């Protein structure tokens, strides 16, 4: 069934909402995919016999739900679906992407041995200024930047004298490399998430506009014996990523 096969009905549900739901279903069913243009306000007014204001309200609802982007001169463009991560699941980025049918990728910025800043030292149980390995990468989903990741690794898991070779981290999960190379498995962690906006450097990394909304996740990852092994700051594109948490009532 095509998006415009059904007519609108009179009743308590506003017609603009009915149109939005028809288009939402068409996007979910793959009738419109990322990069496609949705029907214009003019086409909607002709098809359903509605006002231009009603048509605009329908498209504005989809934009508010971040399903589309409305661009002057280009129309209403379907956005790529957001990647969703359950908040109670600690998984490597590559496992997370593959579970969603996306191809993980990495753009390595640097692997460095640096003095641990105060916050990093606190999270890893080090003394400020102690050497630690820092892995700076851009995380990709289907070759599109989705996040920027800066991981600090405790000397207990990775000796600063022998940091990971850059070649190993251009196309591999950091967690898998740690487990394969050191025999240590990251088993649990704690994470704090907050909103922010992209500065000029981050905007360039993530291919978004300066000032675009971002999600900032700060995570301390632990071994099976609760020893801090990693402190990472991951900055996600808010238009491509969201977190999900399941709630139960006591």
pLDDT, tens digit, for every residue of 15-27? Answer: 888 888 888 888 8
CA distance 178 to 73: 49
Phi, psi for residue 84 in degrees, rounded to 5 = -115, 130
| Pairing relationship of beta strands 213-222 and 228-237 according to DSSP bridges | antiparallel
Q: 122 pLDDT band (50/70/90 cuts)?
A: very high
Q: 87 pLDDT band (50/70/90 cuts)?
A: low
Contact call for residues 102 and 83 (beta carbons, < 8 A): yes
The model's pTM: 0.66
CA distance 136 to 138: 7
Residue ranges, comma separated, of all CATH 1.10.10.10 domains in the chain are 15-78
Average pLDDT over residues 201-226: 91
Domain 15-78 bears CATH identifier 1.10.10.10: yes
pLDDT digits (tens, 9 = 90+) for 218-229: 999 988 888 999
CATH homologous superfamily of 83-244: Chorismate lyase-like (3.40.1410.10)
Q: Which residue has the higher pLDDT, 136 or 70?
A: 136
Decide: helix, strand or coil at residue 154: coil
Return the structure tokens found at 194: 């907050």
């Amino acid at each position: 069934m095509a998006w415009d096969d059904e007519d609108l009905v009179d009743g308590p549900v506003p017609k603009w909402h009915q149109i939005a739901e028809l288009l939402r279903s068409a996007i979910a069913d793959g009738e419109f995919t990322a990069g496609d243009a949705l029907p214009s306000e003019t086409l909607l007014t002709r098809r359903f016999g509605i006002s231009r204001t009603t048509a605009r309200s329908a498209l504005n609802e989809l934009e508010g739900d971040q399903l589309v982007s409305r661009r002057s001169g280009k129309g209403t463009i379907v956005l790529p679906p957001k990647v969703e991560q359950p908040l109670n699941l600690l998984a490597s980025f590559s496992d997370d992407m593959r579970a969603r049918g996306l191809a993980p990728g990495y753009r390595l910025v640097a692997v460095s041995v640096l003095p641990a800043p105060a916050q990093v030292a606190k999270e890893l149980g080090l003394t400020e200024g102690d050497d630690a390995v820092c892995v700076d990468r851009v995380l990709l989903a289907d070759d599109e930047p989705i996040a920027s990741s800066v991981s600090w690794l405790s000397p207990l898991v990775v000796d600063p004298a022998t940091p990971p070779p850059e070649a190993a981290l251009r196309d591999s999960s950091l967690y898998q490399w740690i487990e394969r190379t050191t025999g240590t498995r990251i088993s649990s962690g704690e994470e704090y998430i907050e909103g922010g906006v992209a500065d000029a450097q981050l905007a360039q990394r993530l291919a978004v506009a300066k000032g675009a909304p971002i999600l900032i996740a700060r995570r301390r990852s632990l071994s099976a014996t609760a020893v801090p092994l990693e402190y990472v700051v991951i900055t996600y594109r808010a238009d491509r990523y969201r977190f999900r948490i399941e709630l139960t009532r006591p």
